[in-house]
Chain A
Amino acid sequence: MATDKSGLTGNTTLLILKLLEDQDMYGYQMIETLSRRSNEMFNLKAGTLYPILHGLENEGMVESYEDRIEGERMRKYYHITDKGRKRLIDKNAEWKEYVSAVNQVLNGGLSYASV
C-alpha cells in the first residue's frame, strides 16, 4: 500500500536542517541520506530540495562553499549556521507539538504524554 506523505509537507526544512546538524553535505548526498535514514520513505526530488536549500541559504540558515572533487568539477557543500540550529530546535518543538496533537485526536483526547 502506498504511504501518504502529506504529513511531510512543510517539514522538509526540518529534515534538511537535521541532516546538516551532524555534518556538511551536498545536495545529492542529502537526498541519499534522507532516503536511507527513512527506509526509503522520503525520496526527495532535486526539484524540491534545491529551492528549499537556496531559500534557507538566503535566510542565513545554511551557508554554502565549493570544494574541488576531481579535475575542474566543483561540489557545493551546505553548512548549518547558528541561526539554522536555532530554527532546527524551534521546528523540532513545533513538530513534536503537532505529532502530540495528532496522537491526542487518534487516541480520543488522550495524549501519549499523559499516559
Chain B
Amino acid sequence: MQPFEKIREYSRLVCSQIRWEGAREPISKEIENHIMDQRDAYIADGVDETEAIEHALCQMGDPVVIGTQLDRTHRPKAQWGMLLLTMTMVMMGVLIRIFLLSDPLSTSLSRKELISIIIGALCMLTAYFSDFTLIGKYPKFIFAGIVGLSIVVLNTSPMLNGRIYYAASLPLLFQIGFVGILYNAKNKGYLGLFQCGLAFGIMGYITMKIPSLSGLLIFTFTCMVTLFIAIHREWFKVKKQFAYMISFALVSWPFLLIGVINFRSIILRFQMALGNGYIGTNVKQLIMSSRWIGHGYLPPVESTEVFRIPNIDTDFMFTYLIYNYGWLVFIGIVGLIGFFIIKGFKCVVNQKSSLGLLVSLSIMLTYTTQVFWYILWNLGFQGGSPFTLPLLAKGNIALIVNLALIGIMLSVFRTGDIVKDNVQKFSPIEQFISFEEGKLVIDFKRK
C-alpha cells in the first residue's frame, strides 16, 4: 500500500462510522490534513515517510472509536416541525376555504386542488432531501433551466385577463437562479456585479412579459437585499459605496421603465389605492365595519346579503374572514404565519455558509413579501394586486412553487451546518499588540 493510501484508508474507516453521508467529505479532509501535519512533524524530526505515517496514525487513535464519536456529533438537523407547520398551513387553507368562505366554488376540495397539494408536498419533500449546494455548483445550468422553462411556458400558456396564465407563478422561482449566479460572482469584481445585473435583467424582462407587477416587485426586492448583503460581506472585492449604487441601478431599472411607460395608470392605481376604486372602497368599508369577534356590521343603506368583493378564495380571504368572523380569526392566522416567519428567519441568520444564507434568505424574503403584500391588499391598501397568500389562499401552481421553495429552504436548515465558505473570514492576528503563547507580540506590519 502506498504511504498516502494508508492515510486515505484510515479516514475512510473513520467516515464509514458516520451515518450522515453529507458530513463525511469535510471530516475526511480534516482528518487527512491532521495526519499529514503530524507526518510532516515526524519527517522534520528526521523520521522517514513510511515510519512517519505509521507514527501519525498511531497518534490518531482507533478510527472506529473516533468515527462513532463523530457520528454522534454529526446528525442532520431534521426539520419535521417546520414541515408539519407548512402542511398544517396548507390544510388550514383548505379547511378555511371549504367551511368558512361562502364562495360556492370553494365549498369542496376540487380534484385539481388535491393533485396540486400532493404534487406540492412531493416537490417539498424531494427538495428537502436534496443537496441545496447544487445551486452553487451548477448556477448557469439552473439559471438556463429556469429561463428555458419560462420561455416554453410563455409561448404555450393561454392568456387570462391580459396575463400569461401558467407563467404567473414563475417569478417566485427566479431568485433561485439569481442566487446561484450571485454566489458564483465571488471575487469577480465589477464583472461579477454586472453578471448579477444581467441575470436580473433577463429574469426581470420575462416577468414584465408575463406581465406580473407583484412578481417583479418580489423578485426585485429579494435580489436587492441579497445583493446588498453580498456587498456588505465584500463578495465582489470592490468599493462598497460604488457597488451599492451600481447594484441599485441594476435592479431598479424595470420599475423606472414601468413608471415612465405607465405613468398615468400608476397615478390612477394610487388614486384607487387611496379609496377611489370600487373594490378598494368596499374593502375599506368592510374592514371598518368589522368586530373583534363575530360578523361585522354595515350601515343599513350599504348593507347587502351578497359579499361585494370578487375572488374571495384567492385575493380577499382575509377581508372576508375579518368581516364575517372578526379580527381575532385574522390575528390567529397571522400569528401562525408570523411564527413560521420568525422561526424561518432565526434559522436563516444561523447559517454558517454564504450559500446557505443567500438561498434561505431569498426564499424567506419571497415568502414574507407575499404575505405582507396580501395583508396590505386585504386591509385596503391596494397599490397593486397581490401575488397570493402563500400556502393558504387558492392557487394551484403558486402552491406547488411555494412548497418547492420551502423544501429547498428546509434542506438548507437541515444540512447547512456542513457547508463552508473557502475564505478566510477571521484574521489570526488583528491587533497591533497581542499575547500569544506567553509572548507579547507587536505586529508592525498591521495595516
Instruction: Spell out A's residues near B (CB within 8 Å).
Output: 22-24, 26-29, 32-33, 36-37, 45-48, 50-51, 54-55, 57-58, 60, 63-68, 73-77, 79
Contacts and interface: CB of A to CB of B under 8 A. Distances in A.
Contacts of A63: 352, 425-426
A64 B421 CA distance: 9
B88 interface: no
B356 to A, nearest CB: 13
Nearest to A73: B33
A51 B352 contact: no
- 10 smallest beta-carbon distances between A and B, as pairs: A47-B61, A28-B37, A47-B66, A51-B69, A79-B426, A54-B73, A45-B61, A67-B424, A23-B428, A46-B60
Nearest to A36: B437
7 contacts: A22-B434, A28-B33, A28-B37, A29-B37, A47-B61, A68-B422, A74-B29
B3 to A, nearest CB: 16
Given A74-B33, A74-B422, A76-B33, 13 more contacts: A22-B434, A23-B434, A24-B426, A28-B33, A28-B37, A45-B60, A50-B70, A54-B74, A58-B417, A65-B421, A66-B420, A74-B29, A76-B30
A71 to B, nearest CB: 12
A28 B74 contact: no
Contacts of A57: 417
B301 interface: no
Interface in B421-443: 421-426, 428-429, 434-438
A66 B65 CA distance: 25
Contacts of A28: 33-34, 37-38
A15 B428 CA distance: 18
A67 B434 CA distance: 22
Contact of A75 (B33, B72, B417, B438): B33
B425 A79 contact: yes
B155 interface: no
Contacts of A33: 437
Given A22-B435, A74-B29, A66 B62 contact: no
Contacts of A29: 37
B59 interface: yes
Given A37-B437, A58-B73, A46 B31 contact: yes
A60 B350 contact: yes
A22 B417 CA distance: 25
A65 B37 CA distance: 18
Interface in B236-282: none
A2 to B, nearest CB: 18
A12 to B, nearest CB: 13
Contact of B34 (A23, A37, A46, A66): A46
Contacts of A74: 29, 33, 422
Interface in B316-375: 350, 352
A113 B330 CA distance: 62
Contact of B424 (A51, A55, A65, A73): A65
Nearest to A54: B73
A51 B425 contact: no
A51 B65 CA distance: 11
A17 to B, nearest CB: 15
A65 B420 contact: yes
